[in-house]
Amino acid sequence: MSLIERVGLAAAIVLPFWNIPLIVKIQRRRSSKDMSLSWTLGVWVCLLLMLPSGLASSDTVFKTFTIINILLFSGVVVQVLRFHFPREDAP
């Protein structure tokens, strides 16, 4: 693996982890009202549509990024939906 591929792989692993502070921020504020529902769902749908290509790719960087990004961004989607549409029976 060349240096360029190693740097790309490191970035592919680290970049999606920037979703974690966003997930935590939404949880702490108990609000996602500043997050656009259409933007959040639009990004997530695009990631889902890219998933088959990422999984089928022989490019390790693209495949790694696709898997980690879909997992962590799905956490963002869950939080946004959770606080955009709170349950009526929640305290």
State residue 51's pLDDT score. Answer: 97
Decide: 54 and 66 in contact? Cβ < 8 Å: yes
Q: Express each pLDDT in 13-48 by its tens digit.
A: 999 999 999 999 999 999 999 999 999 999 999 999
In a domain, 56, yes or no: yes
In a domain, 89, yes or no: no
For tokens 């490191």, what's the residue? 10
Global pTM exceeds 0.85: yes
In a domain, 61, yes or no: yes
In a domain, 8, yes or no: yes
Q: How many Cβ atoms are within 10 Å of 16's Cβ, its own excluded?
A: 20
State residue 1's pLDDT score. Answer: 84
In a domain, 29, yes or no: yes
Q: Which residue range forms the structural domain that includes residue 39?
A: 3-84
In a domain, 90, yes or no: no
Token pair, residue 42, equals 């639009």
Mean pLDDT for the chain overall: 94
Vertex 71: Cα angle to 35 and 44 (nearest 5): 45
Which CATH number does the domain housing residue 61 bear?
1.20.1280.290
In a domain, 62, yes or no: yes
Res. 3: pLDDT tops 90 = yes
In a domain, 91, yes or no: no
Please tell me the total count of domains within the chain. 1
